[in-house]
Structure 1
Amino acid sequence: MRWLSVLGAALVALPLSSMAREVGEVSTAFKLLGANHKIVVEAFDDPKVDGVTCYLSRAKTGGIKGSLGLAEDRAEASIACRQVGPINIKEKLKSGEEVFKERTSLVFKTMQVVRFHDTERNTLVYLVYSDRMVDGSPQNAVTAIPIMPWTGQVQSQ
């Protein structure tokens, strides 16, 4: 019984989403009951590097379990990080440092983005992967941003 109390407290303490803003979504499968299965695109800014935004696309399970937050989302994800302004590294970067984390199941599975600084090539590298308390997934995606001078404002149309 005590174990259930600890588990319940941990669930309350964990955020459902960390720093990400949903950009859009598309349905991939109709579900008669509950939400449709979908692919969600989210954006988040690197908390230690000004001028970098990452876009993460991932599957969200629908149906009754998905609507109640009980379903486990698939491990596949895609990431694209871009320079959106002058790059300013605010503090020393640690290799493999977590920059984004989101739960993809009720308790045991998370999707994470970690950052590496390839100093030899003056590039920031971002890796997205899924892990599980017992067994993670080898599926992953990577993106890289060369650290270059920002030449000016983006022209919008």
Structure 2
Amino acid sequence: MTPQAFSQYDVRWGLWAVLALICASLWPAAPAVAADEPDLIFRRSTVFKWLSPNDKLATYGVDDPEVEGVSCHFTVPEKGGYKGWLGLAEEVSDISLACRQIGPIRFKAKSDQGEDMFRQRRSLFFKKMQIVRGCDAKRNVLVYMVYSDRLIEGSPKNSTSSVPIMPWGATDAAVQKCGEFIQ
């Protein structure tokens, strides 16, 4: 191999290595749970921008993948502008949450207190939003908390929603106890 061919090989190998590193860092990590992507309910513009997309508030719905009969809705701000359009803007941590019983509650498996119910990336690299589930066994209430965190520093902004486990209809006489499934 000639010195010129060797240096071209090194350059190509270096470019492939850099490309592989970039792809690996952008590839989203496997979600902690098997929750589907949230369903977009609606968006509402909050800040008008002349030549680029507006800032918006977006409301999404997601079903708890481990607890049948519970659904959560959360509202998140979405940055507009060119950075938001290209997916480069870091989203703010203001997230609201409401969870409700939408049918008979059935636990699919045992889980831990504070286990992730849903996780979503909120910036290109370092920030993610998480909805976690817990159980207030004394009151037989499921408790959901949403918060965002960063690799270096967390965010104190959060929201909590409670779902009392109640009978659903005439056929749901036996109410499960969350303390038997969430430890």
Q: 1:110 aligns with which of 106, 125, 128?
A: 128
Aligned residue for 1:6? 21
Aligned residue for 1:138? 156
Q: Distance in 2 between matches of 1:4 and 1:140?
A: 36
RMSD: 1.9
SS in 2 for 1:67: helix
After TM superposition, give the deviation of residue 21 of structure 1 in Å: 0.7
Q: Distance in 2 between matches of 1:62 and 1:108?
A: 19
**Unpaired segments of 5 or more residues in structure 1?**
153-157
After TM superposition, give the deviation of residue 18 of structure 1 in Å: 5.2
The equivalences for 1:38-117 within 5 A come to 38-117=56-135
**Unpaired segments of 5 or more residues in structure 2?**
1-13, 171-183
Q: How many residues align?
A: 151
After TM superposition, give the deviation of residue 19 of structure 1 in Å: 2.1
Aligned residue for 2:174? none
TM-score, normalising length: structure 2: 0.77
Aligned residue for 2:168? 150
Residues 1:12 and 1:132: Cα distance change in structure 2 (over 3 Å): same
SS in 2 for 1:65: helix
Structure with the larger strand share: 1
Moved more, 24-33 or 39-48: 24-33
Q: Distance in 1 between matches of 2:22 and 2:141?
A: 40
Residues 1:138 and 1:4: Cα distance change in structure 2 (over 3 Å): farther
Q: Distance in 2 between matches of 1:137 and 1:12?
A: 24
SS in 1 for 2:109: coil
Q: Distance in 2 between matches of 1:29 and 1:129?
A: 24
Structure with the larger helix share: 2
